[in-house]
Amino acid sequence: MVLEIIGFPRSNFVRTVRMVAVEKQIEYELLPEAPHSELVKSINPFGLIPCLRHDGLEIAESQAIARYIDAIGDGPSLIPNDNVAAARVNHWVSLIATRIDTVLLRQYIVPYLFHKDESGNTIRTEIDKALKRFPRVFGTLDSAVASGHVAGPAFSMADCFLLPMLAGVQLFPEGKEAIANHAALAEYFERQTRRESFIATNPY
């Protein structure tokens, strides 16, 4: 059975697991389902994407899906075998999927896309909260990628979690400016946009 990734293509976490599949040279089918669709809720009772189906396995949550794909694929491992290096990757995956996602996605991108008043103007309450946290978030990321990638010199699962967020952030003015103002992060992002897994999963 072909591996099925279920979720809306513009979701950063859907793109993350798709990038992992490309990196691991795994053929997959994307089923473009919105959150809380009947199919999604049949796998994730909370209605969140992405979900995965493969050979009788049905699971949700991007970190679980990404690790499953990493385990079964033929490409280079996205989590190192060395325990210390693996701990660094897992540290960044968790940090990006929780703290950084909260600021960049939930407080910044989502309001730009969906929080409008009756006249269609963006409601900036959450956006302005996010902007106050931008210096710490982007400063942290800038320092992290100075070694070449998020968790060290090699491309890893942490990069698969970060890159879709940066791709979304740079579509809006403050996000684009924040990336441009951090030299290491700007160079990192520009370089990664040429990566096959980034190009093949571009939903924009």
Q: Inform me whether the pLDDT recorded for 1 exceeds 90.
A: no
Looking at residue 107, its pLDDT comes to 95
- Reported pTM: 0.95
Where along the chain do the CATH 3.40.30.10 domains lie?
3-72
Q: Which CATH number fits domain 3-72: 3.40.30.10, 1.10.287.110, 3.20.10.10, 2.120.10.80?
A: 3.40.30.10
Looking at residue 120, its pLDDT comes to 80
Looking at residue 204, its pLDDT comes to 83
Q: Inform me whether the pLDDT recorded for 116 exceeds 90.
A: no
Q: Which CATH number fits domain 83-200: 1.10.357.10, 3.20.20.140, 1.20.1050.10, 3.90.1150.10?
A: 1.20.1050.10
Looking at residue 123, its pLDDT comes to 85
192 closest CA partner among 178, 177, 181, 179: 179
What's the whole-number mean pLDDT along residues 13-24? 98
Where along the chain do the CATH 1.20.1050.10 domains lie?
83-200
